[in-house]
Amino acid sequence: MIDQNKKNIKNSIAKSSFIVGGMTFISRISGFMRDILFANIFGASSSTDAFFISFKIPNFFRRLFAEGAFIQSFVPILNEYKTTKPSEVKKLICYVQGNLALILFFITFLGIIFSEEIINIFAPGFDSTDSRYYLASDMLKITFPYLFFISLTAMYAGIFNTYDKFFLPSITPVLLNVSLISAAIYSTGMSYTPIIALAYGVLFAGLIQYSIQLPFLYKMNLLVIPKVNFRYSGVNKVLKLMLPAILGTAVVQINLIVDSIVASMLAPGSISWLYYSDRLVEFPLGVFGIAIATVILPILSAKYSSKDLISYKKTLSNALRIVLIFSLPATFGLILLSEHIIISLFQYGSFMYNDTYMSSLSLVAYSLGLPAFIIMKVLLTGFFSRQDTKTPVKYGLIAVIFNIIMNTVVVFYYLKNPFDGAHAFLALATSLSAWIQVILLYLHLNKDGLIHRSDIFNKEPFISVISCIIMFLVLGSVLINPIALTENLYYIRGLLLIIYIILGALVYIALMHIFGYKFKKSYI
């Protein structure tokens, strides 16, 4: 009976991971459609630099306060109340939602009022003589309220995940892409600053994502009127965990925004090149890393609350094993196909080959850190599930400081000796800082006895690396020249790219099977 229960739990986790990963996959595909349209209509220009900055700022705060620190702090506490105090769950949601809404309203208000000052901070290369400065400031006034709606949406996602309902939170990001695609199409008919339409698309997307959650909360009998009460014990617990978690969980996002800040001082288009390459890296990150981390956080929290440390360790180690096996071929694939992917997806209309080449440089640099980005998501759950948000802060600070130092070196050298591809070194610094944080997180969990060395340093990663190298050589031998690829129509480019990806996947799976790895046994 016990074995059957364990099997059911495994299957449930695997099913949930596939749901989140599948919906994330759909979201990323629609995101690619969105970015293809952006590249076609707007290219990598000064106006796109301005929009990406105005979009990145509320997105940064969203990931900092909502999807990052808040969710990682709220879910364990909600799980605890669900297990030990079910009668007070609605009260917890009521007060947490009210307090969060108040804080978000205050931040949003300040963001709108001080939009120009915020642009000065996040894009110091945009000065008052630069058209990008005023355009970014105007669009930030429109996009900043997105933070309010999407952060509350993220809170609702935490509630759904706690109750093992993963579909709706995973599919709502598609609505953002649909809204921005609609806005981009609408912008083509505008005679004055058409890119402003994208800012309104962001705002409407936040409102839609928020609204669509409400009926489902009502159906679960968890839709409550928000109230403000900072003295409630559950709220204090969330805040106590959240404040230090802000840095610990958002190191990658902080590094990416630092990249944008420094990129504003480099050649025009640098922000856009970094944006497009980051979007491509976020695809496997979302499908593998975020999906698994989302699923295992409430599970690990429940296991730790019930003091089932054996299952806790097994779940964590299995999650690590999975992300390693899948992130390594994704890394090799992105490096090898960097130009082919960008040409196939983005090089149309205003997006030229120079933009492709520059974006591919930063894509390769970001790809080197992809395994670290994914592993980090899993390792952090090992801390947050135990309500330990302070420890990741130390390591997050070290990683951020390293990234800032490296970025500073790059920009100072560039200002004295301008050179092409400077933005790629910013991406490389972000990747290296992620690896530093992963190593520090792993060593700490290993010291606490929650991860064993054999979970990472065993034959599975070794045969995965060997399989990736062989796959790299095989696939590289059949690739056509990227420049020759540009001579083909879009559907030929897309078809060739799909063939390359499928071929690479088949070679990797076949090699892993030959070396003795069984994929069917690799679920959590």
Q: Tell me the C-alpha distance between 54 and 180, whole Å.
A: 14
Task: Give the pLDDT band (50/70/90) at residue 353.
Answer: confident
Name which of 438, 292, 283, 281 is nearest 365 in CA terms. Answer: 281
The burial of 58, by beta-carbon neighbours within 10 Å (0-12 exposed, 13-18 middle, 19 or more buried), is given as buried
Q: Is the pLDDT of residue 127 over 70?
A: yes
Q: What pLDDT score was predicted for residue 199?
A: 93
CA Rg value for the chain: 23
What DSSP string runs through 442-498?
A: HHHHHHTTSS-GGGTSSHHHHHHHHHHHHHHHHHHHHPPPHHHHTTS-HHHHHHHHH
> Is 31 inside any structural domain?
yes
Q: Tell me the C-alpha distance between 254 and 275, whole Å.
A: 14
Poorest-confidence range of 5-19, 294-308, 485-499? 5-19
Q: What pLDDT score was predicted for residue 9?
A: 44
Residue-number span of the structural domain to which 354 is assigned: 17-521
Share the mean pLDDT of the chain: 82
**Based on the structure, what is the number of domains in the chain?**
1
CA angle, 64 then 65 then 68, to 5°: 60
Other residues' Cβ atoms within 10 Å of the Cβ of residue 63: 23
> Is 386 inside any structural domain?
yes
For the chain, how are helix, strand and coil distributed in percent, rounded to 5?
Answer: 80, 0, 20
> Is 63 inside any structural domain?
yes
Average pLDDT estimate for 148-164:
85
> Is 279 inside any structural domain?
yes
Q: Is the pLDDT of residue 2 over 70?
A: no
Name which of 245, 221, 182, 254 is nearest 34 in CA terms. Answer: 182
Calculate what percentage of the chain has a pLDDT beyond 90. 20
Interval 446-481: pLDDT, tens: 888 888 777 666 778 888 899 999 999 999 888 888
Q: Tell me the C-alpha distance between 21 and 412, whole Å.
A: 41
> Is 313 inside any structural domain?
yes
Average pLDDT estimate for 341-352:
82
Q: What pLDDT score was predicted for residue 103?
A: 87
Task: Give the pLDDT band (50/70/90) at residue 198.
Answer: very high
Q: Tell me the C-alpha distance between 184 and 31, whole Å.
A: 13
Q: Tell me the C-alpha distance between 464 and 158, whole Å.
A: 34
Task: Give the pLDDT band (50/70/90) at residue 311.
Answer: confident
Interval 224-266: pLDDT, tens: 888 988 888 888 888 777 776 666 555 656 766 777 778 878 8
Whether residue 431 contacts residue 365, with contact meaning beta carbons closer than 8 Å, is answered with yes
Main-chain dihedrals φ then ψ at residue 206, nearest 5 degrees: -60, -45
> Is 9 inside any structural domain?
no
> Is 1 inside any structural domain?
no
| DSSP 8-state secondary structure symbol assigned to residue 520 | G
> Is 4 inside any structural domain?
no
Average pLDDT estimate for 30-52:
82
Of the ranges 94-98, 312-316, 383-387, 513-517, which is most confident? 94-98
Main-chain dihedrals φ then ψ at residue 301, nearest 5 degrees: -60, -45
